[in-house]
Amino acid sequence: MNKFTVLLLTMSLLTALLSGCTGNTNSSGQTVTPVSETFFIFDTVVTIKIYDKRATTKNFQELEALMKDIDSKINRSNENSEIYAVNANAGIAPVQVSQETFDLVKIAVDYAQQTGGLLDPSIGPLVSLWNIGHEGAHVPPAADIEAAQKLVDYHKIELNEDSLEIYLQDKGMDIDLGSYGKGFAADLIYDYLQAQGFESAIIDLGGNVFAMGNKPGGREWNVGIQHPDQKRGIDIGTLKVTDKSMVTAGIYERFFVENGKTYMHILDPRTGYPVDNNISSVTIIADSSTAADTMDTSLLIMGIEDGLKFAKENNTEALFITKDKKLYATPGFKEMLNKTNDEYTFAN
């Protein structure tokens, strides 16, 4: 599966939300047409729609600069990025980074502690080894997996808040912020729009969607939760939200098939292998896009029972869809969801 197929699959996760964003009316009954721009960044298609006629070309230029700045700092594949420098100096010396990069790595380490290392920012060696989503991906030798696994340990990420320095204790360690970056960027975009006085917008980073405020006229946004089988292009239900971020992690996003077995892109640091369970997707609704972006991945690794418990403890709404078409949800998500597809039923 090539890069652009992946992009199309990811972007279709919340199609009902995005397709419902045109033709909105304000309190006076006037149609409000969004001012929008589309970019290719973070290795995905980014679309920002601002429902305010005051939005200008300058606003979108500043948003593009903001995103490029973030990407230039946290992209581990960019030889000029701060994270690349941190990884290149693993086991050698600490590297001073910007406040934004330091803050994101600190968030990632804190979250790793909360999840007992299930979502570990030092997962980079395993990500590189498996190379899922890229040409030539295959199952690595068990010895290589074991060797990479030994380099995954968030406890060995040293953070010096006074000097904004990050140090990886062992040579070969590698920070990968793929589970955090888009959410972090969405939150910064939200903050920028809010500072500019905008109150209604859709921020879509390749399927990581932040529905800012309400729709014009004060109504809630209508979100469609798509059927995990992307080829079918149908929803299992809808829900209404105000000022929330929605993110979905699914087994269909990036994967390869070898000897009849499917290997998905989400890796379990406990085993060194891709997650292999009965879950097709996890959808998270949260106040923060960073939180949603991290939690969908970690809950997919945790599994249904532990995942639902963790979501409740963190005041987050979650929906699990299983391969046998069962739905498992937090009470809040279940209450919000208007199920429209009878193939899917809530588990007892």
User: pLDDT tens for residues 176-209?
Assistant: 998 899 999 999 999 999 999 999 999 999 878 9
Q: What token pair was written down for 231?
A: 């080829």
CB atoms within 10 A of CB 194: 13
270-to-118, 121, 145, 150, 256 alpha-carbon distances in Å: 7, 14, 11, 10, 21
Return d(Cα 264, Cα 274) in angstroms, integer: 6
Of 13, 86, 23, 77, the C-alpha closest to 45 is 13
Classified as helix, coil or strand, 339 is strand
The overall average pLDDT reported for the chain is: 89
Strand-pair category, 255-258 with 244-250? unpaired
Return d(Cα 315, Cα 332) in angstroms, integer: 10
Q: What percent of the chain has pLDDT over 70?
A: 90
Return d(Cα 77, Cα 57) in angstroms, integer: 30
pLDDT computed for residue 7 by the predictor: 40
User: Cα angle at 97 between 95 and 98, to 5 degrees?
Assistant: 170
Confidence of residue 233 (pLDDT cuts 50, 70, 90): low
Residue-wise pLDDT tens digits, 130-170: 999 888 899 999 999 999 999 999 999 999 999 999 999 99
The residues, ordered by sequence, that sit 6+ positions from 267 with a Cβ below 8 Å of its Cβ are 123, 126, 127, 130, 273, 274, 275
Please state whether the predicted TM-score (pTM) of the whole model is above 0.85: yes
Q: What percent of the chain has pLDDT over 90?
A: 75
Sheet strand arrangement including 279-286: 35-41, 44-50, 201-205, 208-212, 244-250, 279-286, 317-322, 326-329, 345-346
pLDDT computed for residue 17 by the predictor: 44
State mean pLDDT over 249-263.
85
Q: What single letter denotes the amino acid at residue 110?
A: D
